Amino acid sequence: MKRKENNHLAEGEVTGHYHQATGQDVEVFEEVFGDESLLLKVPTESTVTHQEHKQITIPAGDYRVGQVLEYDHASEEVNAVRD
C-alpha cells in the first residue's frame, strides 16, 4: 500500500486540474486493490476540492475511489470519463 502525499484523487490529462481530499488526517493510498482505484481514509468530516467545481463535503469513513466510465451506445464501447 503506497500513500499519495498530495492526496490527489484524480488529475486532469490536459489542464493540470485535480480533485484533492482535504481535511484533518485524510489519507489517500494507491496500489491497494490491484487496479487503478484508490483508498480514501477520512477520519473526520472533510472536503474534496477542484479548481473548477464546487467543493463537496464527505462524512468520515473509508472510500474506494475509481474512474467513472460511460457507455457509448453508438460505438458499443466503454470509455473513461475525462476531466
56: buried, middle or exposed (CB in 10 Å: 19+, 13-18, 0-12)?
A: exposed
Q: For residues 58 and 48, what is the distance between their CA atoms, to the nearest angstrom? A: 7
pLDDT at 83: 55
Query: What pTM value is reported for the model?
Result: 0.77
Written as nine digits, the cell of 65 is 475511489
Which stretch of DSSP H or E encloses residue 31?
Answer: none
How many domains would you assign to the chain?
Answer: 1
Written as nine digits, the cell of 8 is 490527489
Q: What is the pLDDT of residues 37-50, one digit of tens each?
A: 999 999 999 999 98
Query: In terms of residue numbers, what domain contains 58?
Result: 2-80
Q: For residues 38 and 18, what is the distance between their CA atoms, to the nearest angstrom? A: 14
